[in-house]
Structure 1
Amino acid sequence: MAEVVVVEVPQWRGSGSRTAERLREGARLLAGMVDAEHRTRVEVDDDLAATAARVRSALSQAPDGLVVTTGGDCGVELEPVKAARRRFGDRLVVVWFDAHGDLNTPSSSPSGAFHGMVLRALTGEGPAGLVPDEPVDPRQVVLVGVRDLDPGEAAFIESNGVRHLGLVDPVALTDAIAEAAPHPRSAAVYVHIDLDVLDPDVFASIGCPTPGGLQPDQLLALVTAIAGRFEVAGLGIVEYEPSRPEDQELLTPLVHTLATVCAKN
């Protein structure tokens, strides 16, 4: 079992949610739900590029093991995915559990919020200072649970070969990952989980709720299937805006188990 390294990034300035400041407490709570041998908390800045530089520094100093990034808004995933891309090269597949595509550009985004652009930035298009030197191939991105897309995002998915699975079963998901990987037997998967992928009728402590979505046991089954077949390159869990005690009661064992499952391979 790999050692677990928690990197807590309480960034909220990249969010378009009116209650985004709650993400600071959400990052802290999420970090505490993960059993870890090593922990670091990144001090965030109002400037997203400055925060990204601090995350990059924290990752460069982290010991070997499974890095679990807790946010904060989805924008905190920029540097962890970049680090995984540098480490694994074209073996990397990014699985994006999210209600939203996060595939806007500054010109297509209705809100102008970076948390809705971070995955597009990771593929090579985004705000200055927030685009990696080694982008992820869009054909090596798998969207799961996405059910709210802006027109520009839908067009990008269609024209660039992004796999959009919606709500899916474990076998279909792992088969899609294998299809997305140039080298399926040696593929490594970065698992991104925006908690708004869950059904808001079950989990409501999120800033951008979207009807429908996964049940907690479905999410766990899907991540377990990924970890059972592929190496996990990293895990990010983000967008928790604490508002109800019952949500924290649901989330605590779920996050603990997700991290444990991903660290076992």
Structure 2
Amino acid sequence: MNVRLIGVPMDLGADRRGVDMGPSAIRYAGLADAIEGVDHRCTDHGDLPVPGPETRDRTGGQYGDRAKFLDETREVCSALADEVAATVADGRLPLVLGGDHSIAIGSMAGAARDHDLGVVWFDAHGDFNTPSTSPSGNVHGMSLAATLGLDEFADHDWAHTDIDPENVALVGVRSLDDAEREAIVDAGVSVYTMSDIDERGLPEVAEDALAVATDGTDGVHVSLDMDFLDPNEAPGVGTPVRGGVTYREAHAAMEEVADHREGLVSLEVVEVNPILDDHNRTAELGVELVASALGERIL
């Protein structure tokens, strides 16, 4: 496999600063060496340009405070979509390094251009809000809704794709807003909460999620938000939520991804916040999980 790293140092989608340093932290943790250690080739595209929030008006977009920095998010995600699409067309695997989770809008838009795409979303949150439902106006909590063209996003061609909600699976969810919960049920996506993981075990849940994403599709996008893990395991994340998966469970999930990696079209790791981290521990764990997703095994 030929892996291409694409950094997107963006924190426009969240109120808390710091995730813009995530791509650097992940690289510093030895990502390229880890990928090559699993016998894959790795090239680094560097970082896409991202405007700083200090230079822009967060309420200047179409929806004002209900979708902060939406114009800037469109600008960055449109550029990312082009890079991801070109990488996929070249027969390489784009590994996108975030940055906040709003960048997934661009990752999925690019990967879905020439593929009937399914999605596995490892995250504590649903990211299923829209400008009319979001309590914060932070676009990183709208990325899946935007990709599926819900509500206001139906008119935003840069964001939504032809991804079928029936091929979308959320894994590890434990924090949803009321309106978001209703939207998820109405959309028909598959949701595996932490209660499901407790009852069934993560390998079985991840296998089911991948079956959902691969049912009738010709490729899968895997989005790994590091807040999927419990904060005791990954303290340096944008929006930590107690009660997440353990170190070993996270590796087991990525090992299931590796078992399906022939269909893997794109992969991203997001929401690493070095400001809140302990000696780059979360970024190092992210590197380990990427290696597991790409085939690393104990034996």
Q: Which interval holds the TM-score relative to the shorter structure?
A: 0.7 to 0.9
SS, match of residue 290 in structure 2: helix
- 1:10 — aligned with what? 9
**Match for 2:97: what amino acid?**
T
Moved more, 72-81 or 131-140: 131-140
The 2-side partners of 1:179 and 1:244 are apart by 34
12 and 180 in structure 1: CA distance in 2 versus 1, 3 angstrom threshold: closer
52 and 222 in structure 1: CA distance in 2 versus 1, 3 angstrom threshold: same
Q: 1:193 aligns with which of 200, 224, 229?
A: 224
CA contact (8 A) 1:121 1:131 kept: no
- 1:251 — aligned with what? 283
- 1:178 — aligned with what? 211
The 1-side partners of 2:160 and 2:213 are apart by 21
Please say which structure displays the higher CA radius of gyration. 2
Q: 1:232 aligns with which of 253, 261, 264?
A: 264
SS, match of residue 100 in structure 1: coil
CA offsets 1:20-41 (integer angstroms, 9 cap, x no match): 2x11212221244421223231
CA contact (8 A) 2:237 2:276 kept: no
The 2-side partners of 1:84 and 1:121 are apart by 15
User: 5+ unaligned residues in a row in structure 1: which ranges?
Assistant: none
**Match for 1:29: what amino acid?**
A
- CA drift of 1:152 comes to 1.5
- CA drift of 1:175 comes to 2.4
57 and 170 in structure 1: CA distance in 2 versus 1, 3 angstrom threshold: same
The 2-side partners of 1:157 and 1:49 are apart by 23
**How many aligned residue pairs are there?**
256
- 1:109 — aligned with what? 134
SS, match of residue 265 in structure 2: strand
- Correspondence 1:40 to 2:27: no
CA contact (8 A) 1:6 1:31 kept: no
- 1:100 — aligned with what? 125
TM-score (norm 2): 0.78
The 1-side partners of 2:282 and 2:130 are apart by 34
- 2:191 — aligned with what? 164
Task: Report the identity percentage.
Answer: 29
30 and 241 in structure 1: CA distance in 2 versus 1, 3 angstrom threshold: same
- CA drift of 1:233 comes to 1.7
The 1-side partners of 2:220 and 2:86 are apart by 22
TM-score (norm 1): 0.87
50 and 246 in structure 1: CA distance in 2 versus 1, 3 angstrom threshold: same
- CA drift of 1:232 comes to 1.5
The 2-side partners of 1:104 and 1:111 are apart by 10
The 2-side partners of 1:52 and 1:244 are apart by 25
Moved more, 164-173 or 210-219: 164-173
- CA drift of 1:131 comes to 4.8
- CA drift of 1:251 comes to 3.4
117 and 179 in structure 1: CA distance in 2 versus 1, 3 angstrom threshold: closer
CA contact (8 A) 1:224 1:261 kept: yes
Aligned pairs (5 A) from 1:9-158: 9-17=8-16, 20=17, 22-32=18-28, 33-35=30-32, 36-45=42-51, 46=56, 47-62=72-87, 63-89=90-116, 92-125=117-150, 126-127=152-153, 129=156, 131-132=158-159, 134-158=161-185
The 2-side partners of 1:153 and 1:83 are apart by 25
CA offsets 1:52-73 (integer angstroms, 9 cap, x no match): 2222333344343111101110
**Match for 1:88: what amino acid?**
H
54 and 233 in structure 1: CA distance in 2 versus 1, 3 angstrom threshold: same
The 2-side partners of 1:133 and 1:14 are apart by 17
CA contact (8 A) 1:11 1:71 kept: yes
